């Protein structure tokens, strides 16, 4: 018996991997870790329980994975997949086939919300419920242990019954919860899944040695009857599952049951639920029953085929009122699916006479998108059932102030045993808090007498993100799948986080609080905000302080404070006696850091000792002494929605927002990141006006739009605040003009890309540039005033700005700002440029991925507006459909333009034929032309105002008038979209000839889900799902598109040639046909750093990629072909550094050299050859005559 502490994903895949021969995978949150583990185990050659190493293949989409899976099954393999949410939806067509052919297989699903009014990565059963009609058995696991055990049960039952299974567990709540479990041995698994069943499956496979046809097309005469042939197989499923569960129980002592009951044996009120929520409900029922309440919970594990008999048998005959909880929503239905099933079972039994009294049955929704489901909420449901007239339909966990569905509940109900130690930790993603807590769980969970649980909550930013760790330890298994609300220990690993009310809100009375602060212990109390002092006094909290940053620095650990804080936790939390705890942590350090050398171990051990010496208790006076309160999340000047709704989300009170506060259709205001001053970097950019040559490079590369430039008349400086920096404008012909480069210091992430991009250095100090990183704190006061003054200066007139140069582009206002992307992101500079160039007439269709998350994840959005209120109109549909979605924008724009032109022509006599003629014939390529057209449209609007508004022609024209200014439609996404899941759609859209522009932010991996390989991943690089190194070269998407002849194509890399990037973007937009711009985007998944700062050398790596010939800069311009010239322009010089001088800088390439040096050498040789060969092809193309390229260029829109 092996005891381990793992999360639900690992628990499930541990069984699934060992019981299969093939895994067809595709990344999707929160199931990706299952696929990643399977891939890495396969790469390591780890066998299944029958001795063969499972084949793991990544496909281009979940649809592809399901197709490959279907084929593998038809070939006789044991095959599985891991997915969630939209991924499961893409598999549905194949699920019908697999089930229809009675093919044994198990899909392991970390169940997740579906994208509706908004996308959510979090957990509920919407995805699984959408597969109900497909014919799969649906088996629900409620805990990490169950996710392991039932993965095996599902495999056994599918082979016995031939009905395929979806085995699911709650995304994040179970998939990402660490818990102590007992692993099934290989012998257990072999016993559960006898080999004769596998052989029977193989015997049914396709073989030319005994051929048959499967997958016929059928006619009205037989399809129906054939569809009914499977009924008996479904009837046999419950028994098959029960048999497997019984065998498992016999070997492990862990009994399950298709359904199981917990609570009072003569309960009159019963909750029916499935998944992790059923465990919370069951624990609550036991607690309440212990206090004399006649309540119980019926937990459903096998949901399809619904085990009606077992359900009725398990239900106490005394149950008079039943609430069925569904973790999904079916708008417009009579009720959610589990409710409807239960109702049908009971009604049928009652009608048949086997159930004497028909209970009252209500149906409620809970826990959508990982909304907490707590014992208090379960108790609230029982309380509702006790009312005279319980709500027939309800919700629990939210405040529905519109349709009144929500139940009241006691948020403080605490049912946990006193023996459970509960702790919460608040930290930043970058400070190692989560890693240290995972380590703590492993240390404490390793003891035979102790169980451990960990659950981690992250915010949705990729930089400066906050983390909350919820840990429990106790002598009994931890069965509490909800957040810690009453912690006996609260660790605050970043001083400013104590200003969040949630932090001390999670402290139980008398709890110990540890604050990491640079302040001496005697100064801590007075510094605390009023709200914190009140909570400390009210709950009689015991406060400790440590300067972990100083202790870590003095011990030589740099900014790694986790060892120090972990030590303090062990010292004062009381989970273990202090001596024992310190010995355990030192032992863990020795093991964790052994590979980094004795010196690193010694430094960490020294930090442990110093931590104890630096830990001080803070004296708490008997009264509040604070002179300040918690600052508001957003300024008072923010719009109403931002102050009420956005601010609540920012402050961590989003759960408290009622239904009425939220838009009904997913429409949110643009430009809200500007209200959130995150101050995430202690070091920020600072401008030196004397050194600056005003080239605009820093502003161009800034991923966060925090470097802005304006030029203005010197007179405008009147009233400038002290410290407002300016310099004479260096442009010719404007002697009286001044120039200011303003850094938005509170939004700067300190990534350093600007410093690296600066071409000048100070005389006598080569390390000092015209822009440098300096401490933020001393700058704040002056810079806040400077920013306010800078914002009041007029934005430079677009027609007066030279769009053609990097220097000119700095004066264009970014309409994409302060996103939560990684500090130093390689994608966002391109989006910022897009917004600068075309923002006021831009429509963006954004594929799901990093850019849709930092671009559209609540609470705040970076796409914003200009002074006239215009700006990018942005939307995200799905991952796979983005090209088609964006084409739809174009279709509509063209239709409505045509309509507008038609109506305008009809009204020509009434609004003025000259004006109409001008509008209809106006060129719209340059900014001055756009400005002129906007002026004409405004005039037209004025004249329309004079006409009868009720005239249908006038009204019609008004509704589409905007389209008379040409819209710029951009389809934006990453390589996972463009090269893989959306490749078919992208290809079709490019072939359509319509005037759309595609921007591929090519990071060469699926960045958002953690760096899985795509077809853009280069040869020789390691990525998740390519743990053994990518064996084939990156797809040349540019050449594919060029093959059409009428597609404008460019490959750009801003860090290598910003001017070429700018030119390509403008040419792409101006081209009246489809355009494709493939942009090299350095990424955190590449593993690059300079001076210890991740991504700081991102632009330099772009330069190296181009200099080595790996990323040749090129443009293919059909306009040139039409003019009789060679349309293929090679914009970068011949390779002048070896490929290794580029790849050697990146961990993604070095990993293979570490794990498999021989293969790394082989692939590096092939990659260098591929670069040379491709360069030769490009050079040859650049030298061809135009006649050798397809003619007939030009768009067809």
- Between strands 997-1002 and 968-974, the pairing is parallel
Which CB sits closer to other proteins, 460 or 926?
A: 460
**Least distance in angstroms from the C-beta of 607 to other proteins:** 16
- Between strands 295-300 and 259-263, the pairing is antiparallel
Q: Is 164 exposed, middle or buried (0-12, 13-18, 19+ CB in 10 A)?
A: buried
Which CB sits closer to other proteins, 530 or 768?
A: 768
**Tokens 């790596």 sit on residue:** 1101
Which CB sits closer to other proteins, 602 or 955?
A: 602
Tokens of 1080: 């090299």
**Least distance in angstroms from the C-beta of 878 to other proteins:** 16
Contact 548, 519 (CB under 8 A): no
φ and ψ of 4, to 5 deg: -140, 160
Which CB sits closer to other proteins, 457 or 782?
A: 457
Contact 79, 69 (CB under 8 A): yes
Which CB sits closer to other proteins, 318 or 465?
A: 465
Catalytic residues: 29, 62, 112, 1008
The CB density around residue 795, as the number of other CB atoms within 10 Å, is 16
Contact 1074, 994 (CB under 8 A): yes
Which CB sits closer to other proteins, 516 or 864?
A: 516
The DSSP string of 394-451 is: EEESS--TTT--BPP--TT-----TT-EEEEEEEEGGGTHHHHHHHHHHHHHTSTT-E
Contact 1052, 1072 (CB under 8 A): no
**Least distance in angstroms from the C-beta of 595 to other proteins:** 4
The DSSP string of 570-627 is: HHHS-SS-HHHHHHHHHHHHHHHHGGG-HHHHHHHHHHHHHHHHH-EEPP--SS---S
CA–CA separation, 1167 and 517 (whole Å): 50
**Least distance in angstroms from the C-beta of 819 to other proteins:** 13
Q: To 10 degrees, what angle do helices 32-43 and 8-18 make?
A: 50
CA–CA separation, 189 and 19 (whole Å): 7
In what order do the strands lie in the sheet containing 466-474?
A: 2-7, 178-183, 451-458, 466-474, 421-428, 487-492, 507-516, 542-546, 616-617
**Longest Cα pair distance anywhere in the chain, in angstroms?**
97
- Chain-centroid distance, C-alpha 1131: 35
Which CB sits closer to other proteins, 161 or 370?
A: 370
CA–CA separation, 29 and 852 (whole Å): 14
The DSSP string of 620-656 is: --SS---S--PPPSS-TTS-HHIIIIIHHHHTT-GGG
CA–CA separation, 419 and 452 (whole Å): 12
Per DSSP, 816 falls in state B
Can you list the alpha helix ranges (DSSP code H) found in 162-275? 186-192, 195-203, 223-227, 231-235, 237-252
**Least distance in angstroms from the C-beta of 1158 to other proteins:** 6
CA–CA separation, 827 and 563 (whole Å): 34
The three-class DSSP label of residue 819 is coil
Which residues lie below 8 Å from residue 170, measured CB to CB, with a gap of 6+? 8, 110, 111, 123, 124, 125, 142, 275, 276, 277, 327, 370, 481
**Least distance in angstroms from the C-beta of 1025 to other proteins:** 9
**Least distance in angstroms from the C-beta of 172 to other proteins:** 7
Per DSSP, 111 falls in state E
CA–CA separation, 455 and 176 (whole Å): 7
CA–CA separation, 930 and 966 (whole Å): 8
Which CB sits closer to other proteins, 326 or 459?
A: 459
Contact 748, 685 (CB under 8 A): yes
**Least distance in angstroms from the C-beta of 197 to other proteins:** 34
Contact 1118, 1127 (CB under 8 A): yes
Which CB sits closer to other proteins, 200 or 760?
A: 760
**Least distance in angstroms from the C-beta of 370 to other proteins:** 10
**Least distance in angstroms from the C-beta of 461 to other proteins:** 7
**Least distance in angstroms from the C-beta of 1148 to other proteins:** 6
Cis peptide before 305 (omega within 30 of 0): yes
Question: How far apart, in Å, are the Cα atoms of 333 and each of 330, 336, 1182?
Answer: 6, 7, 61
φ and ψ of 553, to 5 deg: -65, -45
Which CB sits closer to other proteins, 599 or 619?
A: 599
**Least distance in angstroms from the C-beta of 672 to other proteins:** 20
Which CB sits closer to other proteins, 253 or 766?
A: 766
Which CB sits closer to other proteins, 593 or 816?
A: 593
Which CB sits closer to other proteins, 594 or 1123?
A: 594
Binding site for other proteins (CB under 8 A): 29-30, 32-33, 36, 40, 121, 172, 176, 428-430, 432-435, 438, 456, 458, 460-462, 465, 467, 594-600, 761, 764, 766, 822, 853, 1007-1011, 1022-1024, 1027, 1083-1085, 1087-1089, 1092, 1094, 1147-1148, 1150-1151, 1153-1155, 1157-1158, 1161, 1164-1165
User: Which residue, among 1005, 971, 973, has the nearest Cα to 990 in the 3D structure?
Assistant: 971
């Amino acid at each position: 018996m092996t005891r381990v502490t793992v999360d639900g994903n690992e628990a499930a895949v541990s069984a699934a991997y060992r019981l299969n021969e093939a895994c067809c995978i595709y990344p999707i949150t929160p199931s990706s870790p299952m696929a990643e583990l399977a891939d890495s185990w396969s790469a390591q050659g780890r066998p299944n329980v029958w001795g063969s190493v499972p084949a793991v293949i990544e496909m281009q989409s979940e649809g592809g994975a399901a197709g490959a899976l279907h084929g593998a099954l038809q070939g006789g393999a044991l095959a599985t997949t891991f997915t969630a949410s939209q991924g499961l939806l893409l598999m549905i067509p194949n699920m019908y086939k697999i089930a229809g052919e009675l093919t044994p297989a198990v899909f392991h699903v970390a169940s997740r919300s579906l994208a509706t009014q908004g996308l959510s990565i979090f957990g509920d059963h919407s995805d699984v419920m959408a597969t109900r009609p497909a014919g799969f058995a649906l088996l629900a696991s409620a805990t990490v242990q169950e996710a392991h055990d039932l993965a095996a049960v599902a495999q056994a039952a599918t082979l016995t019954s031939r009905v395929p299974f979806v085995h699911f567990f709650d995304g994040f709540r179970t998939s990402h919860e660490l818990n102590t479990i007992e692993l099934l041995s290989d012998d257990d698994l072999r016993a559960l899944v006898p080999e004769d069943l596998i052989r029977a499956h193989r015997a049914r496979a396709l073989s030319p040695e005994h051929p048959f046809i499967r997958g016929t097309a059928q006619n009205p005469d037989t399809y129906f009857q054939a569809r009914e042939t499977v009924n008996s197989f479904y009837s046999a499923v419950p028994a098959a599952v029960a048999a497997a569960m019984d065998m498992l129980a016999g070997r492990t002592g862990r009994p399950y049951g298709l359904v199981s009951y917990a609570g009072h044996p003569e309960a009159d009120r019963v909750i029916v639920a499935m998944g992790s929520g059923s465990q919370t409900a069951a624990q609550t029922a036991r607690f309440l029953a212990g206090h004399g309440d006649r309540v119980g919970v019926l937990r459903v594990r096998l949901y399809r085929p619904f085990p009606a008999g077992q359900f009725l048998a398990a239900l106490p005959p005394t149950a008079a009122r039943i609430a069925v909880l569904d973790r999904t929503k079916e708008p417009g239905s009579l009720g959610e699916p589990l409710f409807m099933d239960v109702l049908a079972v009971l009604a049928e039994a009652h009608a048949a006479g086997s159930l004497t009294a028909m209970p009252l049955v209500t149906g409620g929704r809970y826990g959508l998108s990982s909304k907490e489901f707590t014992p208090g909420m379960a108790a609230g449901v029982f309380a509702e059932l006790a009312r005279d007239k319980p709500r027939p339909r309800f919700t629990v966990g939210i405040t529905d102030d519109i349709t009144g569905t929500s139940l009241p509940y006691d948020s403080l109900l605490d049912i946990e045993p006193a023996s459970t130690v509960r702790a919460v930790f608040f930290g930043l993603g970058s400070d190692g808090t989560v890693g240290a807590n995972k380590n703590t769980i492993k240390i404490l969970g390793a003891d035979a007498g102790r169980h451990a649980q960990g659950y981690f909550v992250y915010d949705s930013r990729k930089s400066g993100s906050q983390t909350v760790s919820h840990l429990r330890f106790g002598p009994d298994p931890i069965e509490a799948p909800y957040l810690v609300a009453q912690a006996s220990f609260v660790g605050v690993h970043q001083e400013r986080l104590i200003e969040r009310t949630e932090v001390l809100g999670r402290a139980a009375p008398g709890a110990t609080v540890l604050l990491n602060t640079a302040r001496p212990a005697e100064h801590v109390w007075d510094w605390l905000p009023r709200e914190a002092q009140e909570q400390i006094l009210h709950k009689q909290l015991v406060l400790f302080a440590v300067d972990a940053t100083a202790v870590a620095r003095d011990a030589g650990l740099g900014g790694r404070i986790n060892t120090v804080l972990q030590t303090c936790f062990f010292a004062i939390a009381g989970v273990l006696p202090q001596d024992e705890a310190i010995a355990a942590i030192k032992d863990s350090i020795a093991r964790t850091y052994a590979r980094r050398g004795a010196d690193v171990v010694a430094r960490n051990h020294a930090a442990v000792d110093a931590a104890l010496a630096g830990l001080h208790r803070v004296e708490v006076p008997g009264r509040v002494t604070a002179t300040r309160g918690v600052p508001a999340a957003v300024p008072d000047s923010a719009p109403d929605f931002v102050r009420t709704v956005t601010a609540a989300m920012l402050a961590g009170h989003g759960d408290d927002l009622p239904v009425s506060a939220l838009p009904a259709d997913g429409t949110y205001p643009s430009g809200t990141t500007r209200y959130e001053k995150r101050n995430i970097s202690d070091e920020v950019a600072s401008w030196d006006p004397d050194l600056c040559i005003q080239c605009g490079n820093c502003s161009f590369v800034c991923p966060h739009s925090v470097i802005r430039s304006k030029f203005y008349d010197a007179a405008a400086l009147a009233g400038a605040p002290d410290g407002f920096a300016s310099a004479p404008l260096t442009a010719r012909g404007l002697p009286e003009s001044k120039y200011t480069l303003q850094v938005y210091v509170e939004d700067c992430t300190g990534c350093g890309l600007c410093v690296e991009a600066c071409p000048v250095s100070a005389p006598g100090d080569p390390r000092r540039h015209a822009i440098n990183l300096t401490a933020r704190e001393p700058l704040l006061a002056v810079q806040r005033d400077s920013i306010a003054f800078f914002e009041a200066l007029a934005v430079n007139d677009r027609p007066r700005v030279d769009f053609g140069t990097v220097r000119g582009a700095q004066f264009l206002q970014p309409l994409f700002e302060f996103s939560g992307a990684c500090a130093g992101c390689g994608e966002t500079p391109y989006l910022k440029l897009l917004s600068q160039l075309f923002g006021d007439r831009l429509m963006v269709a954004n594929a799901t991925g990093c850019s849709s998350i930092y671009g559209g994840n609540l609470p705040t959005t970076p796409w914003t507006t200009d002074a006239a209120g215009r700006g990018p109109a942005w939307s995200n549909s799905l991952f796979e459909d983005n090209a088609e979605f964006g084409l739809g924008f174009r279709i509509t724009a063209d239709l409505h333009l045509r309509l507008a032109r038609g109506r305008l022509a009809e009204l020509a006599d009434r609004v003025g034929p000259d004006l109409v003629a001008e509008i209809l014939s106006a060129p719209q390529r340059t900014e001055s032309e756009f400005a002129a057209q906007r002026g004409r449209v405004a005039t037209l609007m004025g004249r329309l105002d004079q006409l009868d508004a009720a005239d249908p022609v006038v009204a019609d024209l008004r509704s589409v008038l905007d389209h008379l200014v040409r819209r710029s439609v951009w389809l934006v996404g990453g390589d996972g979209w463009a090269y893989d899941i959306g490749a078919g759609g992208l290809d079709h859209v490019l072939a359509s000839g319509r005037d759309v522009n595609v921007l591929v932010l090519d990071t060469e991996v699926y960045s958002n889900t953690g760096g899985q390989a795509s077809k853009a991943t280069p040869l020789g690089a390691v990525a998740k799902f390519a743990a053994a190194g990518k064996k084939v070269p990156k797809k040349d998407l540019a050449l594919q598109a060029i093959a059409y002849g009428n597609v404008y194509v460019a490959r750009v890399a801003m860090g290598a040639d910003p001017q070429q990037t700018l030119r390509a973007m403008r040419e792409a937009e101006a081209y009246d046909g489809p355009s494709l711009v493939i942009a090299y985007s350095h990424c955190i998944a590449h593993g690059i750093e300079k001076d210890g700062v991740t991504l700081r050398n991102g632009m330099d790596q772009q330069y190296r990629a181009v200099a080595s010939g790996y990323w040749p800069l090129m443009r293919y311009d059909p306009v040139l072909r039409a003019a009789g010239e060679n349309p293929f322009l090679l914009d970068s010089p011949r390779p002048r550094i070896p490929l290794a001088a580029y790849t050697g800088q990146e961990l993604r390439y070095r990993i293979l050299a570490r794990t498999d040096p021989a293969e790394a050498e082989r692939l590096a040789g092939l990659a260098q050859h591929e670069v040379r060969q491709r360069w030769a092809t490009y050079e040859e193309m650049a030298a061809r005559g135009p006649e050798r390229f397809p003619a007939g260029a030009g768009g067809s829109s």
